[in-house]
């Protein structure tokens, strides 16, 4: 009799455990008024939902708590969920507040943004946007330049290109618009100069907005080692910072100077020149492009398949061609 009681107790205990485990594994999905593509199980009171390839979260009543705007999302764990935003991962809490990882520390942002350029910090500032208007935050998550621009670029030498109503200018890190919105396109400042376009012609300005080199070129590159590649009448040459021609306009394509040399090309044959235009490697070689760090770069190859460079064997040169 005693043995039967023990057996019955064990059976009852087993049933209880099995029942509890089944309950714990039960997936409860909230009823929603929207036709989501996917509705996940409730976890920590919220359910992940998917609509048109975007993710958000609803509560147990089906109310959308976190807007469906993320590219990917994980479930909540201890009050936080990792979400992918414009190709970058950040964290959110159950109120939708956003946190980004800066120098191995999670920093809360002042606002809930539509876009956060987590990996685009330049000189301590990163672009953010709400409703297609852009500004900048600092590494403390504070908005330091208001969201009023149509598009923005990286900071370089203390200034960033910004666009509004189809025109471009520059802003400093305090948010002061230091160069007026009048250019059709602009570049970042390099060596104190920025390439800018006005009425389909290119020139250069300094950081005060003064037009240093007139707008007469078909297209231009950045200054490097005191000279810049420029194109005029469908041929490339080089100018110095006064606008003086230092290498004549005769090349079909060119690269920026590095270590005193630049790759140039005529009729699909490549060589190297120095900064006074002397051909230190004759234009007789083929060029092969390589994808290096996300950029197409050109190397000169001889008839034996070996790289040709004007630099000694202890030092090679690879130059990105414009």
Higher pLDDT, residue 20 or 231 = 231
Eight-state DSSP code of residue 6: H
Contact at 8 Å (CB) between 32 and 58? Answer: yes
Eight-state DSSP code of residue 317: -
Q: Is 138's pLDDT higher than 80?
A: yes
**Per-domain residue ranges of the chain:** 218-322
Indicate the pairing of strand 88-93 with strand 72-73: unpaired
Tell me the three state secondary structure of residue 8.
helix
In which band, very low, low, confident or very high, does the pLDDT at 118 lie, cut at 50, 70 and 90? confident
In which band, very low, low, confident or very high, does the pLDDT at 40 lie, cut at 50, 70 and 90? very high
Ramachandran angles phi, psi of 261, nearest 5°: -130, 155
In which band, very low, low, confident or very high, does the pLDDT at 282 lie, cut at 50, 70 and 90? confident
Instruction: Give pLDDT, residue 3.
Output: 53
Sheet holding 245-251, edge to edge: 219-220, 227-232, 235-240, 245-251
pLDDT, averaged across the chain: 86
Q: Tell me whether residue 63 is exposed, middle or buried, using C-beta atoms within 10 angstroms of its C-beta: 0 to 12, 13 to 18, 19 or more.
A: exposed
Across the chain, how many H-helices and E-strands are there?
1, 31
The mean pLDDT value for 104-112 works out to 93
168: number of CA atoms within 13 Å, CB side?
20
Q: Is 190's pLDDT higher than 60?
A: yes
Tokens, residue 287 = 């060029």
The number of beta carbons lying within 10 Å of the beta carbon of residue 246 is 15
> DSSP string covering 115-140, please?
EE-GGG-BTTEEEEEETTEEEEEETT
In which band, very low, low, confident or very high, does the pLDDT at 313 lie, cut at 50, 70 and 90? very low
Q: Is 289's pLDDT higher than 80?
A: no
Higher pLDDT, residue 94 or 5 = 94
Tokens, residue 230 = 């420029």
Q: Is 18's pLDDT higher than 50?
A: no
Higher pLDDT, residue 30 or 88 = 30
Q: Is 60's pLDDT higher than 70?
A: yes
Instruction: Give pLDDT, residue 284.
Output: 83
pLDDT tens digits, residue range 191-223?
Answer: 999 999 999 999 999 999 999 999 999 999 999
Higher pLDDT, residue 290 or 268 = 268
In which band, very low, low, confident or very high, does the pLDDT at 86 lie, cut at 50, 70 and 90? confident
Rounded CA-CA distance 130/109 in Å is 13
Q: Is 296's pLDDT higher than 70?
A: no
Rounded CA-CA distance 248/256 in Å is 15
Instruction: Give pLDDT, residue 13.
Output: 44
Where residue 119 falls (left for φ over 0; alpha for ψ -120 to 50; beta otherwise) is alpha
Q: Is 292's pLDDT higher than 60?
A: no
Q: Which stretches of 206-268 are DSSP H helices? A: none
The mean pLDDT value for 165-170 works out to 97
Tokens, residue 70 = 């993320």
The mean pLDDT value for 254-274 works out to 88
Instruction: Give pLDDT, residue 266.
Output: 93
Q: Is 123's pLDDT higher than 90?
A: yes
> DSSP string covering 14-48, please?
HHHHHHHHHHHH-------SS--SEEEEEETTEEE
Contact at 8 Å (CB) between 178 and 170? Answer: yes
Please, which residues have CB within 8 angstroms of residue 264's CB and are 6 or more apart in sequence?
236, 251, 253, 254, 255, 270, 271, 272, 273, 283
pTM of the model: 0.76
Q: Which of 244, 96, 281 is nearest to 255 (CA)?
A: 281
Rounded CA-CA distance 51/30 in Å is 15
Q: Is 320's pLDDT higher than 80?
A: no
Instruction: Give pLDDT, residue 316.
Output: 42
Instruction: Give pLDDT, residue 271.
Output: 85
């Amino acid at each position: 009799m005693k043995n039967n009681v023990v057996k019955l107790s064990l059976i009852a205990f087993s049933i209880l455990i099995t029942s509890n485990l089944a309950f714990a594994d039960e997936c409860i999905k909230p009823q929603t008024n929207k036709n989501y593509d996917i509705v996940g199980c409730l976890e920590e009171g919220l359910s992940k939902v998917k609509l048109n390839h975007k993710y958000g979260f609803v509560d147990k009543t089906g109310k959308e708590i976190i807007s469906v705007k993320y590219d990917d999302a994980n479930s909540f764990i201890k009050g936080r969920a990792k979400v992918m935003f414009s190709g970058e991962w950040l964290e959110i809490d159950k109120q939708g507040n956003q946190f980004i990882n800066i120098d191995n520390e999670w920093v809360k942002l002042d606002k809930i943004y539509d876009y956060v350029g987590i990996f685009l910090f330049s000189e301590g500032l990163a672009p953010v946007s709400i409703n297609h208007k852009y500004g900048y935050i600092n590494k403390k998550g504070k908005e330091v330049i208001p969201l009023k621009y149509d598009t923005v670029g990286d900071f370089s030498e203390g200034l960033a290109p910004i666009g509004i109503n189809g025109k471009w200018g520059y802003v400093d890190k305090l948010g002061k618009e230091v160069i007026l919105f009048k250019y059709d396109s602009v570049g970042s400042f390099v060596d104190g100069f920025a390439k800018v376009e006005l009425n389909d012609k290119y020139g250069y300005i300094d950081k005060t907005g003064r037009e240093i080199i007139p707008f007469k070129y078909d297209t231009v590159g950045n200054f490097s080692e005191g000279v810049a590649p420029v194109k005029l009448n469908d041929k490339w040459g080089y100018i110095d910072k006064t606008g003086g021609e230092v290498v004549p306009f005769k090349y079909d394509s060119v690269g920026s100077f590095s270590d005193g040399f630049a790759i140039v090309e005529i009729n699909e044959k490549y060589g190297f020149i120095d900064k006074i235009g002397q051909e230190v490697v004759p234009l007789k070689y083929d060029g092969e492009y390589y994808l290096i760090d996300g950029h197409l770069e050109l190397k000169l190859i001889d008839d034996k398949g070996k790289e040709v460079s004007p630099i000694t064997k202890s030092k090679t040169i690879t130059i990105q061609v414009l």
